[in-house]
Amino acid sequence: MNAIISASELAGELAGPRPPVLLDVRWQLSLAKAAGEPPFDGRAEYTAGHLPGAVYVDLDAELASAPGERGRHPLPDLGEFGAAMRRAGVSAGRPVVVYDGGQGWAAARAWWLLRWTGHPDVRVLDGGLPSWQGDLETAVPAPDEGDFEPKPGEGLLDADGAAALARSGVLFDARAGERYRGDVEPIDRVGGHIPGAVSAPTTENVGPDGRFLPAGELAERFASLGASDGREVGVYCGSGVSGAHEVLALAVAGIPAALYVGSWSEWSADPSRPVAVGPDPQ
């Protein structure tokens, strides 16, 4: 099953006999609050216009629990997550397509959570809302209650597991290179990376239009960074959002990967954990 879907393919499925559930997960990492500016409002963006039939999902409230020792976007309470998905009309027997404003990170977080908790058919709209050529609507739908019950599976790393994987397999750091090196750190306690992790910015997995590079190009990129010969692969980022986007890119390339959800926001908050700086993984 493909992990992504094009806008034209989605339009065809929406007009067909078994249309997917649509989830709008518009969100963006914003430092506006620290600067005294209003933060990004995904719900307001949704209200102004969304794909026909799409239901808004709040990343901070429904795809994560409150920030704390486990990071800025820890795993949500699974009971609350399941209830939110059922309210949105998600059922185990119906496909789901997730989209955001184009960056892809938030949609990938929803994709990863649904896949990790057992949904068999979830895809991300490649290129997000900007790729959609059809009409938008402002009416808020009232979908029938879904039946999805989340059941966690494999593909989740904790801090110790991430540290071990950096030695035994390959652990990708999906953040920008300057944050990996520790040149700058605008959010967390300290800059740098998990010792042994390899810098692999997720922004380099997409083209200028925000759509993923072809699967073959992605496979070549990840192989050049160490994801070859069946090595186990894991990903982390700042708080488990852009890292999910890298896991999605790896899935497009045909490479299974686990996600360290706590990511650097959890790792760096613990002074006892080692920190590497500079371009060298170690």
CB 134 within 8 A of CB 240: no
pTM passes above 0.85: yes
Count the Cβ atoms, other than its own, within 10 Å of residue 32.
11
What pLDDT does 25 receive? 98
- Band of residue 29 on the pLDDT scale cut at 50, 70, 90: confident
* Tally of CA atoms within 13 A in the half-sphere of 247 that contains its CB: 31
What pLDDT does 28 receive? 83
The DSSP call for residue 234 is E
- Band of residue 39 on the pLDDT scale cut at 50, 70, 90: confident
Q: Tokens 């989830």 map to which residue?
A: 23
Joined together, the tokens standing for residue 266 give 């959890």
249 alpha-carbon distance from chain centroid: 10
- Mean pLDDT is lowest, of 67-71, 158-162, 215-219, 239-243, for 67-71
- Short-list 275, 180, 273, CA closest to 225: 180
Sign of CA dihedral 201, 70, 28, 189: negative
What pLDDT does 1 receive? 62
Give the C-alpha separation, 123 to 107, whole Å. 9
Joined together, the tokens standing for residue 279 give 């371009």
- Short-list 112, 96, 114, 117, CA closest to 24: 96
The DSSP call for residue 241 is S
- What would the mean pLDDT of 111-133 be, rounded to a whole number? 97
Element (H, E) at 56: strand 55-56
Residues 6+ apart with CB under 8 A from 279: 177, 181, 199
Phi and psi at 234, nearest 5°, equal -135, 160
- pLDDT, tens only, 229-254: 889 999 999 999 999 999 999 999 99
Residue 38 in this model has a pLDDT that exceeds 80: no
* Average model confidence (pLDDT) across the chain: 95
Angle 242-252/215-224 helices, nearest 10 degrees?
110
Residue 225 in this model has a pLDDT that exceeds 60: yes
Give the C-alpha separation, 237 to 243, whole Å. 5
Q: Catalogue the active-site residues.
A: 237
